[in-house]
Amino acid sequence: MKKVILMFTLLVTTIAFAQDKNKKASIEVDGVCGMCKERIEKAAIRTKGVKSAVWSVDTHELKLIFDERKTDLKTISKKVASVGHDTKEIKATEEEYNSIHPCCKYRDEEVRKDHEPKEEEKNN
């Protein structure tokens, strides 16, 4: 009987503290264009444990599905920052930021303006 109770307790404890292998989360990542999208998604998906990474140019939201037994949001943010893109938690270094294409310099006000939708695009 003691063995049954011990096994049941162990099972309940394991289930209660199990980490999610298909955790869904999103983080904000700075960028301005399709080239940024490709770079951000590639960096995230190359992080061990990340199963899906989709970044929106419009919302700057990186939607993720990952195995939290293998990685976490901070690790993914570091990987994205390492290719030159700031997240809320981790900022890319100047060297990392300067490695991205001039059209992708999201910290530059002029570059951001160049990527804003034109009036006729907004109306359609």
The model carries a pTM of: 0.79
- Provide the CB-side half-sphere exposure for 38 (13 A, CA): 6
Cβ neighbors of 21 (< 8 A, separation 6 or more) are: 67, 68, 69
DSSP state of 29: B
Query: Is the model more confident about 121 or about 109?
Result: 109
Closest C-alpha among 54, 64, 52, 56 to residue 33: 56
pLDDT above 90 covers a percentage of the chain that reads: 71
Question: Which pLDDT tens digit goes with each residue over 2-53?
Answer: 665 655 555 555 554 567 889 999 999 999 999 999 999 999 999 999 999 9
Classified by CATH at the fold level, domain 18-110 comes out as: Alpha-Beta Plaits (3.30.70)
CB within 8 Å of 48: residues ≥ 6 apart = 70, 71
pLDDT in the model for residue 117: 73
Q: What is the pLDDT of residue 16?
A: 46
Summarised one tens digit per residue, pLDDT across range 44-95 is 999 999 999 999 999 999 999 999 999 999 999 999 999 999 999 999 999 9
pLDDT of residue 5: 62
